[in-house]
Amino acid sequence: MAKRALTVDDSKTMRDMVAFTLKGAGFDVLEAEDGVHALSVVKGQKVDVVITDINMPNMDGVTLVRELRAKAEFKSTPILILTTEGGDDKKASGKAAGATGWIVKPFAPDKLLSVVNKVCP
């Protein structure tokens, strides 16, 4: 059974790229535009890894991480946040909220795959 990923980003380009890369690696990919949308998208779904941007309208990534971790089914789901070069504060707050790791933007698709493999069994 294919693993399922969730990509959350207000940029369609980024979502497309993440989806494209992960699909090529055999994942099913769910997409959401922001935190609120993400929470509705995952209802009733089993998700194996979450990749979320930080800067999004409606609900930002860090809040989303916290909300997800509050859900029983997401307690042990690897969550990756997309941060910017020099965004160490975001890495810290993301980790504090429960994120498993991060990927720095801009990133090459290979990097995405390697980080996903790193945190996703």
Q: Which of 5, 7, 21, 51 binds another protein (CB under 8 A)?
A: 21
User: Which amino acid is located at 67 in the chain?
Assistant: E
Nearest to 39 by CA among 14, 21, 66: 66
We find the least distance from the C-beta atom of residue 115 to another protein, in angstroms, to be: 9
Question: Closest by alpha carbon to 46, among 9, 77, 83, 67?
Answer: 77
3-state SS class at 81? strand
Beta-bridge mates of residue 6: 30, 50
Q: What is the per-residue binding string for another protein in 32-71, x denoting contact by CB under 8 A?
A: -xx-x-----------------xx-xx-x-xx--x--xx-
Residues in contact with another protein by CB under 8 A are 10-14, 16-17, 20-21, 24-25, 33-34, 36, 54-55, 57-58, 60, 62-63, 66, 69-70, 75-79, 82, 84-86, 89-90, 92-93, 95-111, 118-121
